[in-house]
Amino acid sequence: MKLSTKPYKGARDYYPEDKRLQKELFNYINRVCERFGYQEYDGPILEPTELYVNKTSDEIVNDQTYTFEDRGGRSVTIRTEMTPTVSRMVAARRQELVYPLRWYSIPNLWRYERPQRGRGREFYQLNVDLFGVSEITAETEVIQLADAILKEFGAPSSAYTIKINSRELVDYFLKSVLKLNETQSTSLIRIIDRRDKLESANFNALLDALFTPSQRDSGGPNKLLTFLNCKELSTLPIEVKDCSARIKLDELFSNLHNLNVANIEFSPSLMRGFDYYTGIVFEVFDNHPDNRRSMFGGGRYDNLIGSFGVEPVPTVGFGMGDLTLENFLGIHNLTPKVNLSIDLGVLVISKNFQAVNLAIKELRDMGLNVSVDLTSRKLDKQIQSFVKQGLKYIAFIGDEELAKGQLKLKNLVTGKEEFRSPERLVSIVKDTRAK
């Protein structure tokens, strides 16, 4: 039977050119995270299934996990997101870890979804988390960092909008202003979360249905709609003026403006699906007319670590998927250029194996990445291969070169050939690397 050469549906093969780009994108991300004092961590691809139950969105647990029994009868799940894992890891060392604790990771994640543009079954996702800070300075820094990553790629502020909300403020409005009970509030939040996917009339009807007749008579649904349609903090109803969630939001917006993160927007219907959020939530949207969509987001989740039976740790974090980032960079023409990692191709003409290899070792020791044609094909075939691989330079090592102590360097772009000492050759080749 002939085996298929295709990867599993929704998964990606990374050929060297794809891997180079991925590494370059991750380098940008690592650099910014480390500038902000975040340290990289990682956890296993497989986790006990119970870790995800009640810890992530229902949609993911019920429909999107890769869950199975191992050979010992244990139920395991391929990680669908990193937050349960990182919470587990912090909980395991709750006492020894030093706060504020800043961690990031770019895990490989899997969700069983219909593959589509910007969404595969397999993807990578930057996860950034700041543990141990209850103050709004935490949200400030985390949003600043998300913004700094996009700016590192050269994105102008006009390319994206950071929408911000406070689950605490919504909760206060529903319970203390509209006097709704817990059940009503929970149901409403789920409906509001789906607002963008619903027809406006349908959304209004669903909202309306959740109020009691007397709440409806006193204008509850309308008050809620007015609240949800606020586009600025200054236009929020007077009833939430002095609540602490509102004060924190004001401070966050002021901080971000002071940090030149000005493309922010108050968005009271922003919920984000995950149940674990307890305070500020945010989501970054692409402003490009052909790609208007949510790219990534995060928020505060102060109670997750406590669910492992340890003292809770206030936490703010976000996750940024690789595919949405790649789409964003592509559509805004910001994808970084990457170079072939091979600097020089070598054609061996001399039969003096030892001397040839000493010469090659010398080039490598000086920092060149050198690929040798090891076949016994004709020279023109060897040269053709290097041309096809996209190399700029090749060098010939024959007896003449070995006797001279100089190699013949050929520029495959200009066709120019010259004899050069190994040191000079290395510096010529390295000079073109950056270009």
d(CA 317, CA 142): 7
**153: its two tokens:** 């790629």
Q: At its nearest, how many Å lie between its own copies and the CB of residue 191? A: 27
The per-residue DSSP string of 353-409 comes to HHHHHHHHHHHHHTT--EEE--S---HHHHHHHHHHHT-SEEEEE-HHHHHHT-EEE
Looking at beta carbons only, is 41 or 419 nearer to its own copies?
Answer: 41
Closest CA to 400 of 351, 350, 356, 337: 350
Task: Restricting to residues 333-352, name those near its own copies by CB under 8 A.
Answer: 340-342, 345
Binding mask 75-94 for its own copies (x = CB under 8 A): -x-x---------xx-xxx-
Quick one: which of 116, 214, 376, 414 contacts its own copies (CB under 8 A)?
376
**55: its two tokens:** 């810890």
SS3 at position 318: strand
**203: its two tokens:** 């959304």
Query: By CB under 8 A, which span of 10-18, 163-171, 238-246, 264-272 interacts with its own copies?
Result: 10-18
Task: Restricting to residues 267-326, name those near its own copies by CB under 8 A.
Answer: 307-310
Binding mask 113-152 for its own copies (x = CB under 8 A): ---------x-------x-xxxx-xx--x-----------
Looking at beta carbons only, is 236 or 325 nearer to its own copies?
Answer: 325
Looking at beta carbons only, is 68 or 181 nearer to its own copies?
Answer: 68
d(CA 203, CA 200): 5
Position 4 contacts its own copies (CB under 8 A): yes
Task: Restricting to residues 184-223, name those near its own copies by CB under 8 A.
Answer: none
Task: Restricting to residues 385-414, name those near its own copies by CB under 8 A.
Answer: 385, 388-389
Distances (CA, A) of 62 to 56, 57, 59, 122: 10, 9, 5, 18
Task: Restricting to residues 20-49, name those near its own copies by CB under 8 A.
Answer: 20, 22-23, 34-37, 39-48
Quick one: which of 6, 241, 337, 435 contacts its own copies (CB under 8 A)?
6
Query: How crowded is residue 98: how many other Cβ atoms within 10 Å of its Cβ?
Result: 7
Q: At its nearest, how many Å lie between its own copies and the CB of residue 414? A: 21
**180: its two tokens:** 């709704």
Quick one: which of 181, 229, 235, 369 contacts its own copies (CB under 8 A)?
369
d(CA 269, CA 433): 49
Q: At its nearest, how many Å lie between its own copies and the CB of residue 319? A: 18
Q: List phi, psi (to 5°) of 91.
A: -60, -40
Q: At its nearest, how many Å lie between its own copies and the CB of residue 45? A: 6
Q: At its nearest, how many Å lie between its own copies and the CB of residue 59? A: 13
Q: How many residues bind its own copies (CB under 8 A)?
A: 96
Q: List phi, psi (to 5°) of 375.
A: -80, 170
Dihedral sign from CA coordinates of 151, 296, 167, 215: positive
Query: How crowded is residue 7: how many other Cβ atoms within 10 Å of its Cβ?
Result: 11
Q: At its nearest, how many Å lie between its own copies and the CB of residue 289? A: 32
Looking at beta carbons only, is 100 or 398 nearer to its own copies?
Answer: 100
The per-residue DSSP string of 130-158 comes to EES--STHHHHHHHHHHHHHHHHTT--GG
Position 157 contacts its own copies (CB under 8 A): no
Q: At its nearest, how many Å lie between its own copies and the CB of residue 418? A: 22
Position 259 contacts its own copies (CB under 8 A): yes
